[in-house]
Amino acid sequence: MDGAMGSMIQTYKLTEEDFRGERFKDHSSPLKGDNDLLCITKPDVIKEIHCKYLAAGTHILSTNTFNATSISQTDYNLQHLAYEINKAAAAVAKEAVNEFKAKDPSIPRFVMGVLGPTNRSASISPKVEDPGFRNVTFDELKEAYKEQARGLIDGGADILNVETVFDTLNCKAGIYGILEMFETEAAYPPMPLFISGTIIDKNGRTLSGQTVEAFWTSVQHANPLCVGLNCALGALEMRPFLQQISKSAHTFVHVYPNAGLPNAMGGYDETPEMISGAILDFAESGFINIAGGCCGTTPETIAAISNVLKTATPRQIPARTPYLRLSGLEVLTMTPDLLFVNLGERCNVTGSRRFARLIKENKYEEALSVALDQVRNGAQVLDINFDEAMLDSHAAMKRFICLLASEPDIATRPLMIDSSKFDVIVEGLKVCQGKAIVNSISLKEGEEEFKKKAKICKNYGAAVVVMAFDEEGQATSIERKVEICTRSYNILTQQLGYVPTDIIFDPNILTVATGIEEHNEYAINFIEATRIIKQTLPGAKVSGGVSNLSFSFRGFDVLREAMHSAFLYHAIKAGLDMGIVNAGQLPLYDDIPKDMLELIEDVLFNRKPDATDKLLEYAQSNKKGGNVKEKAAEEEWRKATVEERLKHSLIKGIDQHVIADTEEARLKYPHPLRIIEGPLMAGMSTVGDLFGAGKMFLPQVIKSARVMKKAVAHLTPFMEALKAQSLAEQGITDESESHAGVVLMATVKGDVHDIGKNIVGVVLGCNNYKVIDLGVMVPCETIIKAAIAEKAQVIGLSGLITPSLDEMVFVASELQRLGMTIPVLIGGATTSRVHTAVKIAPCYKSPAIHVADASRSVVVVSSLLDENERGPMMEDLSELYEDLRQEHLASIKDRKYLTLAKAREKRFKLDYSSYGKSVVKPKLLGVKAIRDFPLEDLVATIDWNPFFQTWQIRGKYPTRGYPRVFDDPDVGEHARTLFAEAQAMLKKIIDEKLLQAHGVIAIYPAQSTDGSDDINLYSPDGSGTKIGTLHGLRQQAEKVSNESEPYYCLSDFIASESSGVSDYIGMFAVSAGFGTEKLVARYEADKDDYSAIMAKALADRLAESFAEKLHALVRQEYWGYEAPTEAAQMSTEDLLKVKYQGIRPAPGYPSQPDHTEKREMWRLMDVTRESGIELTESLMMHPGAAVCGLYLASPESKYFAVGKIGEDQVTDYAQRKGTPVADVERWLSTLLAYK
């Protein structure tokens, strides 16, 4: 193949006049840059470039038509010339090829018509605020590609190449248009087709999110002569992805990479020798059949590639594997070891009342949570159906799938597009970039209609469900099911060219136990028909809607679920491949009570005449007596062995009997350690498994840990006595304990938050790790000394605030400087995998690993300490972190920012004619201390949602938040228990005055500065004396979606000095954490980590509530701009949703992310003297359960996120604050939009 066209054109330094030529000299739009137009206005230049590539050894010459669709030419107002441009381009290329053929006919040479990706995306919304929006349709793309293909073919193209595919749906539209043209237009018979995808970064995905294998799966229905990759990456970066497509594709494979990644100046650095060396490696590895070059490559590059490939052996095309492959963002391959594929049934308006309600209420975004639930419950394919009389099914299908595409956790899954209306199915296929399943088609309307629909589905690249239904009706007997499926199979494979694996038969799962005799054989008929279909129709799959089976027992959910499980057990054995089933509601076959199972199977296999009556009788009797059985089971566990009792206590978190049971076990076992290693660890292992699988929740884990600690505490004196005796007998003085490993943990210097760290410590401790917790605000030198002294094998660093991130970088740097190699775990609310990869890992050659939550800590630590696992894990992690670093760098490069001056021009502007009238002079001016605020007055305004988040209790919509979480089917019971225990402790705290709440507020006259982003504060005595300045940061990231939206800074909400309007600003600092350390220490002394964590969590909630309560008092009394009647009508929920006037932004948060502004606040309010709240060196508040912020009263004020800022603003901000730029960059490191 040839190389780059665009960079070669640039070497000619063509002017606007060159692009216009005589024909377009008066055209209304600028044309410079429309390289495709040069095929008409400068064909000699294009031909000369073609000839250079042909002379270099090119066999396949690409036309200069990358942007020659009518869609792309719209940018130049030349969309009407798309056909002409393409025909001219192909003709120029053909002329060059013919000249070289005449010189040497022995060398094969071809013209390849290039169809670029267009400048629009069918899968991605250009509007951030509207993820369901699309600026181009499938049909528009289809027609544009078809028009381009006609022009290329008429101009002499021998091959068509749909290339640089960043959005697979765009490509599928092109494929559909080309295939439609081949099939319906006699002038354009089929010709060779190439397809070339583009991987945008080292994560190995297209811009629209697909992996390489998913991309190939989505387009393979086009049967291209060749498929491959081009553009975006250099050859070396392409290697793993090229290997993947080479392994998957049952056709020829090509590659034409860039000359490396673009450098800082937009150029390319890889030489022809470097590129050809990588291409030779691809050839020798058996990856490719064809090679060329993309951006930055030259005729010299192609000559070098041609030279190295002269003796290379072409890739051997692998045989097509007989598996059904489907795709969303990722591929699902139905290999034999997959056994059964769950088709999630809940995104179906007829299968889920909740989903139907949300769709009818136009709550599409919330309806996505139903799809996410299905994924989390194990659905491997999502069934999507909008067949409802009162819905616009076409619009609903399109909108939901478009929204779904913006949710990566859901969009990984393939879709089953399900409707009884075929035009609704087509609407869904037009917005689905992956390979979907169509549900369904059948012979019901006759053979011709069946073939018509099947052909359409094939051109969209979909697999099809074929119902056992023909002109005579629905099949119920084994013979009719097999007959219809066989007939359909032969039509699809022999007449329409279907691959057998893309055919899925549904032989009709029908309802049993209806009381109608002919229905009694329905289950066994399905199972036996499935067996025959799999034996006689090779490659075909079998599916079914499982819930149909048990409709006779609606209301008896336990029985229905057991029926489904038993039916699937036997149907899967017979060959059932997939089924529409609620994966989260299936009991294990072995767990079905034996008496129930026997009755169910009597019905399924029609073994007894009275089977239905017996099963109904069983269901009714057991529904009544269920609670009695449950109570009996609760008492029964105390009769089990001591090992089983200990395990039960751990799993259930029951500590009433643990001491007695542990003592019984101690008397039974030869050594106390054997009890820990045996029944106790077995129980905790089960707890870990359940927690990891999402079947157990954090409060339960902590309660299990409390049981474990009590058991271990009882055994510890006995173990110590035996150890001391053994060491004395051996004359050994080393008293090191036997642990799985030693983990040192600390909240870094300047940070006082440790709830998350404590939870990790509990989980690790209960997995037999020795955990040494250094506490909070731990200096780097203390961490290092303790790590050496304690012979730590892992160091865990925790932090909540942004400055803690810098402290972690410092700790890692110091560990490296001292030559230490201990792995470091990074955790805490502000930490992230990206920050760890970009900022921390490069400073430390040994492992530095981000751990997202407690459930991952044990897995990571155990892998690090296992010699066999550590190496592979670190190799994977190093590769991942390098990818994250490159992605981060790319994100900074690609994002656009306004200059600070421009952002200030586009600032939010108060309307002083009305704003001046709204300003209320505060009743309080100056400082006021608030001491011993009654805690009982704070209970009503507690926001409980963050409390449940602390405990990792997450419900699913619509039961996600408090108090709806109590009704969540999965976590509701645990949430209620946790909340009840929190209420009990809260009552104890209030009744016994275990915590105290102190705070301070201040209100001052204030004006924003003209031409700057600062707010000056003045003396409350009316003298106009300036007493301080608060410094603001302004948004700079370009707002593409809404160009009229202002670029905010907090100073925008305060009247300026020149406005003539007198304005004010307030500030506050509060804490409800006085007494927390003493209370927590008491619980920890009792080895009650659960209560210690609970106390800290409640102190945090009280502090936030204090801030909310005090803000209300300021609005209503101390400032008085909120009317008492308005305040009285506002509920707690309204308060938490900020439905009042004004805001209270906090330093370190999105609207003012600079923690150093706290210093000025502390000075102006004399916070430490007035309230006792201190600032640490890293500007954390102590006690930790504390909140501070500003009060802005403007009705126009709103919360916003500053986001990334440019170097010009950092320099300006440093000058305004009188602070070195380096210090500002350190405090704002996560916001910098430059390296």
With residue 1026 as reference, give the H or E element that holds it: strand 1026-1031
Whether the link from the prior residue into 958 is cis, omega within 30° of 0, is yes
| 1071: number of Cβ within 10 Å | 29
| 953: number of Cβ within 10 Å | 22
DSSP bridge partners of 114: 161
Active site residues: 751, 753, 804
Whether the link from the prior residue into 440 is cis, omega within 30° of 0, is yes
Helices (H) and strands (E) in the chain, counts: 47, 32
Q: Rounded to two decimals, what is the model's pTM?
A: 0.56
pLDDT digits (tens, 9 = 90+) for 170-221: 999 999 999 999 999 999 999 999 999 999 877 788 999 999 999 999 999 9
Q: How far is CA 49 from CA 40, 58, 111, in A?
A: 15, 12, 14
Distance CA 779, CA 474 (A): 76
Task: Tell how strand 541-542 and strand 578-580 pair up.
Answer: unpaired
In SS3 terms, 312-346 reads as CCCCCCCCCCCCCEEECCCEEECCHHHCCEEEECC
pLDDT digits (tens, 9 = 90+) for 731-749: 655 545 556 789 999 988 7
H-assigned helices in 11-111: 16-20, 38-41, 43-55, 70-73, 82-103
User: Computed over its alpha carbons, how large is the radius of gyration of the chain?
Assistant: 35
How far, in whole angstroms, is CA 711 from its chain's centroid?
40
The phi and psi torsions of 565 (rounded to 5 degrees) equal -65, -45
| 1055: number of Cβ within 10 Å | 20
pLDDT of residue 787: 95
pLDDT of residue 152: 98
Nearest of 797, 854, 795 to residue 823 by alpha carbon:
795
Report angle CA 131, 133, 136 to the nearest 5 degrees.
135
H-assigned helices in 249-314: 272-284, 299-308
Distance CA 776, CA 36 (A): 64
**Could you tell me if 943 and 1101 are in contact, meaning their C-beta atoms sit under 8 angstroms apart?**
yes
In SS3 terms, 1044-1100 reads as CCCCCCHHHHCCECCCCCCEEEEEEEEEEEECHHHHHHHHHHCCCHHHHHHHHHHHH
Nearest of 466, 470, 568, 477 to residue 529 by alpha carbon:
477
**Could you tell me if 60 and 291 are in contact, meaning their C-beta atoms sit under 8 angstroms apart?**
no
| Eight-class DSSP state of 506 | E
Q: In b/e form, how buried is each residue of 790-814, taking b as 16+ CB within 10 angstroms?
A: eebbbbbbbbbbbbbbbbbbebbeb
CA atoms within 13 A on the CB side of 1179: 20
Q: Is the torsion defined by CA of 304, 308, 314, 318 positive or negative?
A: negative
DSSP bridge partners of 474: 469
In SS3 terms, 386-397 reads as CCCCCCCHHHHH
From first CA to last CA, the distance across the chain in angstroms is 38
With residue 658 as reference, give the H or E element that holds it: helix 658-668
**Could you tell me if 795 and 787 are in contact, meaning their C-beta atoms sit under 8 angstroms apart?**
yes
Please identify which residue in the block is written with the tokens 């090679």.
291
In SS3 terms, 720-777 reads as HHHHHHHHHHHCCCCCCCCCCCEEEEEEECCCCCCHHHHHHHHHHHCCCCEEEECCCC
Say whether 55 sits in a helix, a strand or coil.
Answer: helix
Nearest of 769, 768, 823, 825 to residue 796 by alpha carbon:
825
Please identify which residue in the block is written with the tokens 């490159």.
886
Please report, as a single letter, which amino acid is at residue 165: V
**Could you tell me if 5 and 64 are in contact, meaning their C-beta atoms sit under 8 angstroms apart?**
yes
Which residues of the chain fall below pLDDT 50? 624-632, 694-695, 697-699, 735, 957, 1041
Question: How big is the chain, counted in residues?
Answer: 1235
pLDDT of residue 1041: 46
Q: What is the dihedral of CA 488, 489, 494, 497, to 10 degrees?
A: 100
